[in-house]
């Protein structure tokens, strides 16, 4: 029987984790698990229920009543359902990003989601991305990658993406918000973003998408012994 392979990818926001992870997973026939989407679904639940995301006790009290499901559509893409309703698009609203960033700092929220994430990796070969996958969720993962790029390059990519979507924003504002999120992710006390000691560093600052993907696949194949 083939052993399942667990690939943990962590890194700051805007480093291209989800695009690269999704593409590499499709090539390898692994399941892609976007854990940020799960945190966003909790943020979405707080927003829908009128709960202040800064009120830790209220957010924690909401958890037992939530029904959160992760499914895969025919397109192979990950969908999130909250209390039976598909919230895959809603969780991408900027307001939900803010809620997700606040609720993900609460240890009770992280504990609540831990088993769900581990269960997915028991059932399938996975590429799972997030902030604490190699350090907390899957510390025994066969492959660990810390994917990053300079804040300036991440801001430049985000600016191009927003321009293409027809919702441009000034470079300076984008860079500031990336730097703020980096600070929050690395300075919170619960599972802060950091590179696991046994993770391979992949810095894509000077790489285009194809080069980044080739480098990622190379790390995975070597780590998985394939």
Is 16 a residue that touches ligand DC (CB under 6 A)? no
The secondary structure of 61-81 as a DSSP string is HHGGG--EEEEE-TTS-EEEE
Stretch that binds ligand DC, among 58-66, 126-134, 148-156, 217-225 (CB under 6 A): 126-134
CB of 13 to ligand DC, least distance (A): 5
Q: How far is the CB of 225 from ligand DC (least distance, A)?
A: 26
In angstroms, the CA 74 to CA 8 distance is 24
Minimum Å gap between C-beta 175 and ligand DC is 16
Site string for ligand DC, 56-95 (x = CB under 6 A): ----------------------------------------
Which position among 132, 135, 148, 155 is part of the footprint of ligand DC (CB under 6 A)?
132
User: Rule CB under 6 A: which of 188-217 touch ligand DC?
Assistant: none
Residues 138-197 that bind ligand DC (CB under 6 A): none
Taking the complex as a whole, how short is the minimal distance between the CB of residue 36 and ligand DC, in angstroms?
2
- Find how far residue 143's CA is from the centre of its chain: 16
Residue 85's contacts (CB-CB under 8 Å, 6 or more residues apart) are: none
| Window contacting ligand DC (CB under 6 A); options: 52-60, 100-108, 169-177, 201-209 | 100-108
Sheet of 85-86: strands edge to edge?
A: 68-72, 78-82, 85-86
Question: Using the rule CB under 6 A, which residue among 25, 28, 30, 39 binds ligand DC?
Answer: 39
Q: How many CB atoms lie within 10 A of CB 15?
A: 27
Q: Checking phi first, is residue 63 left (phi over 0); if not, alpha (psi -120 to 50) or beta? A: alpha
Which of 47, 131, 154, 158 touches ligand DC (CB under 6 A)? 131
Per the CB < 8 A criterion, the answer to whether 26 and 217 are in contact is no
Cα–Cα distance measured from residue 28 to residue 222, given in angstroms and rounded to the nearest whole number = 13
With residue 99 as reference, give the H or E element that holds it.
Answer: helix 94-103
Residues at the contact surface with ligand DC, assessed by CB under 6 A: 13, 35-36, 39-40, 100-101, 104, 130-132
């Amino acid at each position: 029987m083939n052993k399942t392979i667990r690939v943990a990818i962590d890194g700051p926001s805007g480093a291209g984790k989800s695009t690269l992870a999704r593409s590499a997973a499709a090539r390898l026939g692994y399941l892609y698990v976007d854990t940020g989407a799960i945190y966003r679904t909790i943020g979405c639940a707080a927003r829908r229920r009128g709960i202040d995301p800064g009120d830790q006790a209220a957010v924690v009290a909401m958890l037992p009543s939530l029904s959160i499901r992760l499914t895969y559509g025919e397109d192979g893409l990950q969908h999130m359902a909250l209390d039976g309703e598909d919230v895959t698009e809603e969780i991408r609203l900027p307001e939900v990003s803010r809620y997700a960033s606040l609720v993900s700092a609460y240890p009770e929220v992280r504990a609540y989601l831990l088993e769900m994430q581990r269960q997915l990796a028991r059932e399938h070969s996975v590429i799972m991305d997030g902030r604490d996958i190699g350090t907390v969720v899957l510390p025994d993962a066969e492959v660990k990658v810390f994917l990053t790029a300079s804040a300036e390059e991440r801001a430049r990519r985000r600016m191009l993406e927003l321009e293409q979507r027809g919702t441009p924003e000034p470079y300076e504002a984008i860079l500031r918000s990336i730097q703020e999120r980096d600070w929050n992710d690395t300075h919170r006390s619960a599972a802060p973003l950091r590179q696991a000691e046994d993770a391979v560093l992949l810095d894509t600052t000077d790489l285009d998408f194809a080069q980044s993907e080739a480098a990622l696949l190379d790390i995975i194949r070597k780590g998985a012994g394939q």
